[in-house]
Amino acid sequence: MTMLVSTLKPLVTAPQLPTFLLNAKGIKDLAHEAFQNKGGFAWRTIQFLLFDINLRLMEKGFGLGTPRASREWEIRNLIEQIEQQYLPQEQIPSELTNVEVFMPWLKERISQHRVNHHQLFDLFDSNDLSDEEVRYFLSNYRVNMQRFHLHVAAFSLIVPFEMREELYHNLYDEFGQGNFADAHPNLFEPLMNYFGGAREDDINPETCNLLNTKINLCWFADGLHYGIGGMGALELAIPLQQRRVLAHLRRRGLSEDMVKFFVVHCELDEDHGEGWFAAGMPHMQTPEDLQKVFSSAMRMLEARAGVYDGILNGILEARKQADNYLYAA
């Protein structure tokens, strides 16, 4: 059986860009609208535009010396500058002057975040999901899951030598602790296929936004604090969400082999989150450092919550359409 993970094709290739995206002003205007509304045409177009650039980066590299390199960099930079204008400006309390008092506060904020209490998981708890709805959830989940290890690897390029030990430990786990068949993307595929496989048209703009956010914070941010905050928060929060997915899949009667992806993550990710923060602590010295860690943690969790918003909206919208169809018939 082949274990290769299929790659998603870019959705918008550069030569096919609509004319209103061919100049900086067009992109700026659309990005402002996208981040103001976080919905509709502008949001969708901007997220897929960046997603496409990011897929190309992961597939073909940056293309240094080619026209696409400078063009894609310009688009990426413009979109990030505008997104930053719309991020929440919450400041950490002034009494949190060192990392020892900051960390317990941050962990509390992470556990309180709306991502951990998202309504989507109520559907898992109450077994209120069809096979098709679980397939749609997994298909969106898969987009980020398949590429998670790449953020760890890319981020490792800009962290100090000592911190890389923790990141490579994380990568070792991601690749099945020496058994490639257990690499996390490989564990996911049988479950995905059981529910009917992934489709390109499942992918929501919010799912693209999470990938784009991870790349902005881990690959291209101004310093290492953004990656520490974003990835530490993500890893700490994930088991709380996945436990509810796992319990639901078990109640559906799926074998332990089939749900292994979620079993492994409920066990590993809390350790990973602790590990990220522990490895990052020596490098979190000034109030500015702590502020960056906090802001990026909240930005990443909000992007993850957005993925769940997108999936829940997709499910509810499809149910509404099915109802309308039924009444019309």
CB 231 within 8 A of CB 152: yes
Give the type of residue at 106.
L
Retrieve residue 186's tokens: 């490989």
Minimum CB distance to Fe ion smaller for 102 or for 308: 308
Q: How far is the CB of 183 from Fe ion (least distance, A)?
A: 9
Q: Which stretch binds Fe ion (CB under 5 A): 103-111, 175-183, 184-192, 195-203?
A: 184-192
Residue 238: which H helix or E strand, with range? Answer: helix 225-251
CB 129 within 8 A of CB 123: yes
Q: How far is the CB of 149 from Fe ion (least distance, A)?
A: 7
Binders of Fe ion in range 18-77 (CB under 5 A): none
Residue 129: which H helix or E strand, with range? Answer: none
Q: How far is the CB of 98 from Fe ion (least distance, A)?
A: 32
Minimum CB distance to Fe ion smaller for 113 or for 184: 184
What is the C-alpha separation between 40 and 43, in angstroms, rounded?
Answer: 6
Of residues 242, 239, 272, 234, the one with CA closest to residue 259:
242
Q: How far is the CB of 188 from Fe ion (least distance, A)?
A: 9
Minimum CB distance to Fe ion smaller for 48 or for 308: 308
Q: How far is the CB of 145 from Fe ion (least distance, A)?
A: 7
Minimum CB distance to Fe ion smaller for 184 or for 299: 184
Q: How far is the CB of 44 from Fe ion (least distance, A)?
A: 28
Q: Which stretch binds Fe ion (CB under 5 A): 183-191, 195-203, 233-241, 282-290?
A: 183-191
What is the C-alpha separation between 159 and 154, in angstroms, rounded?
Answer: 10
- Decide: is 151 part of the binding site for Fe ion (CB under 5 A): no
Beta carbons within 10 angstroms of residue 279's beta carbon: 21
Residue 217: which H helix or E strand, with range? Answer: helix 205-218
Minimum CB distance to Fe ion smaller for 184 or for 214: 184
Question: What are the b/e assignments for 100-132, b being 16+ CB within 10 Å?
Answer: eebbeebbebbeebebbebebbebbeeeebeee
* Nearest position to Fe ion, beta carbon: 184
Looking up tokens 């490579």 gives: 168
Cβ burial, residue 12 (10 Å; 0-12/13-18/19+): middle
Binders of Fe ion in range 296-315 (CB under 5 A): none
Q: Which stretch binds Fe ion (CB under 5 A): 31-39, 85-93, 132-140, 178-186?
A: 178-186
Minimum CB distance to Fe ion smaller for 78 or for 171: 171
Q: How far is the CB of 291 from Fe ion (least distance, A)?
A: 29
CB 264 within 8 A of CB 251: no
Q: How far is the CB of 262 from Fe ion (least distance, A)?
A: 10
Q: Which of 184, 244, 272, 299 binds Fe ion (CB under 5 A)?
A: 184
Residues forming the site for Fe ion (CB under 5 A): 184
